[in-house]
């Protein structure tokens, strides 16, 4: 039987998501269902799916069972540990849907990368504690066409490789295909690839190829990785950066080993969609 879903559509700096509410843990979408929902012609269209589900329904979750869990899927149906823009959209959705009190100032949620804490900003947007990024020495090489750059691997709960390129190269990069990396076994579960260039004091410009999606207008964890890698290149441990992406700008704060991401997020519409029978599992 086809299944009819209610959904919301949201975005953070044009990194867009289909958001589903699943308070009783009854709808665990298959990869095919996720691909259908994210299809920009046959479905809703998005870079990924966010399912709001109580953490007690997530297999292997050892934290507080009553937390809302951000069950994130990439557009190709694969699971992902974290999504920085997705967290902000998820938190805005929780409040708009009445799943948290309207006057709450901060919310702790579960993700596959652990808990994340979001604070609603008075002027709009959300500031999220993004954990403690782990930055490695630049021991990876990333290639686009005939050009190769050294890259730092950065773990922000999900894997990243950050390369610094010049401004002209950043504009002309062909990211219609996945870049290559070496050694090829450096990222067993794939990687998000960020290309950055400084454009001013404490300002970076970035493009990104996200695993399971392709080039996107923005990647929240990628901006944190970019700022963390750039700070490490310059021997900084306490820093604040504005990171410009094709979809807008966000702010990354690095302090005491912790990272915080601030930026806009909004729900732009609600709707219903019928998932075709061949896409419905069980």
Binding residues for substrate: 15, 74, 84-85, 158, 192, 210-211, 220-221
- What pLDDT does 276 receive? 76
- What pLDDT does 277 receive? 66
Q: Which of 55, 83, 87, 89 is catalytic?
A: 83
Mean of per-residue pLDDT scores for the chain: 95
Q: Is the pLDDT of residue 279 over 90?
A: no
Q: How confident is the model at residue 14 (pLDDT cuts 50, 70, 90)?
A: very high
- Answer yes or no: 38 catalytic: no
Binding residues: 15, 74, 84-85, 158, 192, 210-211, 220-221
**Going by C-beta distance under 8 Å and a sequence separation of 6 or more, which residues neighbour residue 83?**
15, 17, 48, 50, 70, 72, 158, 220, 221
Determine the average pLDDT of the residues in 213-227: 98
Record: fold of 134-260: Diaminopimelate Epimerase; Chain A, domain 1 (3.10.310)
Tell me the pTM.
Answer: 0.94
User: What is the domain partition of the chain in residue ranges?
Assistant: 3-125+265-279, 134-260
Q: Which of 219, 224, 245, 250 is catalytic?
A: 219
- Domain pair 3-125+265-279 / 134-260, same fold: yes
Record: fold of 3-125+265-279: Diaminopimelate Epimerase; Chain A, domain 1 (3.10.310)
Kind of pairing between the strands at 140-144 and 147-155? antiparallel
Q: Is the pLDDT of residue 50 over 60?
A: yes
């Amino acid at each position: 039987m086809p299944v009819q879903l209610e959904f919301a559509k949201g975005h953070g700096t044009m990194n867009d998501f289909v958001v589903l509410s699943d308070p009783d843990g009854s709808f665990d979408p298959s990869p095919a269902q996720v691909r259908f929902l994210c299809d920009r012609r046959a479905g809703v269209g998005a870079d990924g799916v966010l399912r709001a589900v109580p953490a007690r329904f997530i297999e292997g979750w050892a934290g507080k069972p009553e937390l809302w869990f951000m069950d994130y899927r990439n557009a190709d149906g694969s699971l992902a540990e974290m999504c920085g823009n997705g967290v902000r959209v998820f938190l805005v959705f929780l409040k708009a849907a009445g799943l948290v009190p309207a006057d709450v100032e901060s919310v702790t949620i579960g993700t596959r990368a652990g808990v994340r804490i979001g604070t609603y900003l008075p002027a709009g947007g959300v500031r999220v504690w993004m954990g403690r990024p782990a930055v490695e020495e630049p021991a990876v090489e990333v290639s686009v066409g005939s050009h190769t750059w050294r890259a730092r691997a950065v773990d922000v709960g999900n894997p990243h490789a950050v390369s610094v390129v010049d401004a002209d190269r950043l504009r002309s990069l062909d990211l219609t295909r996945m870049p290559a990396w070496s050694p090829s076994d450096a990222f067993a579960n794939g990687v998000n690839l960020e290309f950055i260039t400084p454009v001013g004091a404490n300002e970076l410009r970035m493009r990104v190829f996200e695993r399971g999606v392709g080039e996107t207008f923005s990647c929240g964890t990628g901006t944190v990785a970019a700022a963390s890698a750039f700070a490490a290149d310059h021997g900084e441990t306490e820093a604040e950066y504005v990171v410009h992406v094709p979809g807008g700008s966000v702010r990354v704060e690095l302090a005491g080993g912790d990272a915080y991401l601030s930026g806009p997020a909004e729900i732009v519409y609600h709707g219903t969609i019928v998932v075709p029978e061949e896409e419905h599992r069980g």
